[in-house]
A and B are shown apart, each in its own frame.
Chain A
């Protein structure tokens, strides 16, 4: 079984540019989560999809962040325009049913310069 795949693994962009992160969950997993870890701090929840619907987006920092999950399969997280404080590691996770049985991806390290 393929795991949760995230790409790119690393991205370096300039302040003001746009970046799109992608997450491919495990096939059949309805739940998809995005988390972020800013340098040295705790991993923080961003949002949760159930299939294609946003179930909880309380952790999204501001309207420069846009997450989509068209068709309930893969998800994208777009940052536009990127700011320096957006640098960090963005994790995606998926799970099946109403459980905490997450499988995490290896993350995308975003650096905004």
Chain B
């Protein structure tokens, strides 16, 4: 069965530090992969997506993610975190068919000044 694992429930970083959020997936075919962010009181916002092609994907707000098929991973990175990046981040895989998404449990990011 398809699944997404985000091993880190909570991460705290200092402002200006680099960030990497981990995501591992289980999917039989070539996956469609997504990262979403939810800020307090907001809906889920798409940061970036991978369908095919270049395995390093650029997204909004300075985020990028790298698809590594051999590791079944799609980790999210940002070179320098801003206080406004404090939010909850969700990795998801598209399960084909009717474009249903399967989400991980989320990683809550706190940013220290």
A contacts, CB < 8 Å to B: 3-4, 31, 33, 35, 40-45, 48, 50, 55-56, 59, 91, 93, 95, 98-100, 102-107
> In the assembled complex, which residues on chain B have CB atoms less than 8 Å from the CB atom of A100?
32, 34, 49, 94, 99, 101
Question: What does the 1/0 interface line of B1-43 toward A look like (CB < 8 Å)?
Answer: 0001000010000000000000000000000101010000111
Q: How far is the CA of A41 from the CA of B94 in the complex (A)?
A: 18
Within the complex, the shortest CB–CB distance from A3 to chain B, in Å, comes to: 7
> In the assembled complex, which residues on chain A have CB atoms less than 8 Å from the CB atom of B102?
42, 45
How many pairs, one residue from A and one from B, have CB atoms within 8 Å of each other in the complex? Answer: 60
Residue in chain B with minimal CB distance to A91:
B44
> In the assembled complex, which residues on chain A have CB atoms less than 8 Å from the CB atom of B105?
40-42
CB-based contact B4/A107 at 8 Å: no
Per the 8 Å Cβ criterion, residues 52-106 of B in contact with A are 90, 92, 94, 97-106
> In the assembled complex, which residues on chain B have CB atoms less than 8 Å from the CB atom of A45?
100-102
Within the complex, the shortest CB–CB distance from B53 to chain A, in Å, comes to: 15
